[in-house]
Amino acid sequence: MRTALLSDVHGNRHAFEAVIAAAETAGAEEMWCLGDLVGYGAEPNAVVDRIKGLDPLAVIRGNHDKAACGIDDGSAFNHVARVAAIWTGERLTAENTDYLRALPMGPLEIDSLTEICHGAPFDEDHYIFDGGDAALALRTAQHSLCLFGHTHLPALFKIVEGSLYGTALDAERDAVIPLQRGARYLVNVGSIGQPRDGDPRAAYGVLDDEARELRTFRLPYPVEKAQKRIIAAGLPVSLANRLALGR
């Protein structure tokens, strides 16, 4: 079965719709979302409504979801992120606020192969950037494939025969990651709604569990439309500008 891997949508409806259409065309039968449906972008209700309509197999919460629905106060956020979280929380419908409040925290077991988390399997809000964090995450994970988000940076870490390897996934080309039996993998497919690796295209992945293969993709979407919605909403202009830069 092929499953679309979606992370860090951040209220960007235009990027999200483009990814959903592409994933369905690629034959994805299920969808998993690794958190941060909202925050930063101008269309949080549209994104949450779309997720609910898709009825994905698994959705977990992210730190911006927690801040927007009131589980967390966002005090650890930078100024722009906190402004966006407050703005989002004030505009979410009661139904969508309740939906975000009810999302489970990671890590969440999917099946015998896979678990998903937002930040790390040992702390849902922790950022995995380097080999030390990755090694701890791989030791903590209960399954041979752990999918994570939060950093908005596509990355692969793996342990093969006791050795740790790590690499940033090249934004210029789609990655194909064979899942070797006996190895352990920690993969971030990148952000749909706010990439930060210098490529403004939406990032997502597709897992084929029968072929034991994970692919990552980049997809153009109408960035200028998402930017206009942010500016019209009165959100910080920097949130619009960064979409075009992928930073």
* Count of domains observed in the chain: 1
The Cα 68–Cα 20 span in angstroms is: 24
- pLDDT tens column, 8-56: 999 999 999 999 999 999 899 999 999 999 999 999 999 999 999 998 7
Question: Domain holding 231: CATH number?
Answer: 3.60.21.10
pTM score of the predicted model: 0.95
Q: What is the pLDDT of residue 93?
A: 98
- pLDDT tens column, 63-117: 999 999 999 998 999 999 999 999 999 999 999 999 999 999 999 999 999 999 9
Q: Model confidence at 192, in pLDDT bands (50, 70, 90)? A: very high
Which amino acid is located at 103 in the chain? Answer: L
Range of the domain at 106: 2-245
The Cα 76–Cα 89 span in angstroms is: 16
